[in-house]
């Protein structure tokens, strides 16, 4: 496989995301980490801030490129000439949603495959939402996100 897309809001990028990026990077020639410009839910960080955080977190990974997109994921995947969508699965609760999305994307374009990757067990229990809540309440998030992200979140919450 030559090109795959790993889409997400990355609000913020976590060690779980980075783990999936590294795993996918070993399987694929070019991995496009595609930051959703306008996700369905409100984000803490702007698209530019999220792109910057992902770029910093993946610096040095050959074959990984960062991009931004809006609209239908399938249309973006076709536009960039990718053959697959990478999705991370943390728990059974993720599977149901991701399964529906994969089948819907297949219905929209049956040439695009969805590949599910599990993060390592050290990253499988937390989400960006949980990390934002911990940070909002003044907790230490350094075990969940890179130092540069930790600093950005402290600034956002005035800590």
Question: Which tens digit of pLDDT belongs to each residue from 37-54?
Answer: 987 788 999 999 999 999
Alpha carbons 69 and 9: distance in angstroms, whole number: 10
Query: Is there a domain that residue 65 lies in?
Result: yes
131 inside domain: no
Task: Determine the average pLDDT of the residues in 73-77.
Answer: 97
Range of the domain at 28: 3-124
Residue 144 falls within a domain, yes or no? no
Which residues are annotated as catalytic? 17, 41, 90, 128
Dist. CA 83–CA 99, nearest whole Å: 18
Domain presence at residue 132 = no
How far the first Cα of the chain sits from its last, in Å, is 44
CB 119 within 8 A of CB 91: no
CATH number at residue 94: 3.40.50.620
Is 18 inside a domain boundary? yes
Q: Is the pTM of this model over 0.85?
A: yes
Residue 10 φ/ψ region, left for φ over 0, alpha for ψ in the -120 to 50 degree band, beta for the rest: left
- Asked if residues 155 and 137 have their Cβ atoms less than 8 Å apart, the reply is no
Judge whether 155 lies within some domain.
no
* Structure confidence at residue 123 (pLDDT): 83
Q: How far apart are CA 55 and CA 95, in angstroms?
A: 27
Q: How much is the CA Rg of the chain, to the nearest whole Å?
A: 15
Give the count of domains, the chain. 1
In a domain, 154, yes or no: no
Q: Is residue 95 part of a domain?
A: yes
């Amino acid at each position: 496989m030559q090109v795959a897309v790993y889409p997400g809001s990355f609000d913020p990028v976590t060690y779980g995301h980075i783990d999936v990026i590294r795993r996918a990077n070993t399987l694929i020639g070019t991995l496009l980490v595609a930051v959703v410009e306008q996700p369905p839910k409100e984000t803490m960080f702007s698209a530019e801030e999220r792109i910057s955080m992902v770029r910093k977190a993946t610096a040095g990974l050959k074959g990984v490129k960062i991009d931004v997109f809006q609209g239908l994921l399938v249309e973006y995947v076709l536009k960039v000439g990718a053959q697959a969508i990478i999705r991370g699965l943390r728990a059974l609760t993720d599977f149901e949603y991701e399964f529906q999305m994969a089948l819907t994307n297949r219905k929209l374009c049956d040439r695009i495959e969805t590949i599910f990757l599990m993060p390592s067990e050290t990253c499988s229990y937390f989400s960006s939402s949980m990390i934002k809540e911990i940070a909002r309440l003044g907790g230490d998030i350094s075990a969940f996100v890179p130092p540069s992200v930790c600093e950005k979140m402290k600034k956002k919450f005035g800590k």
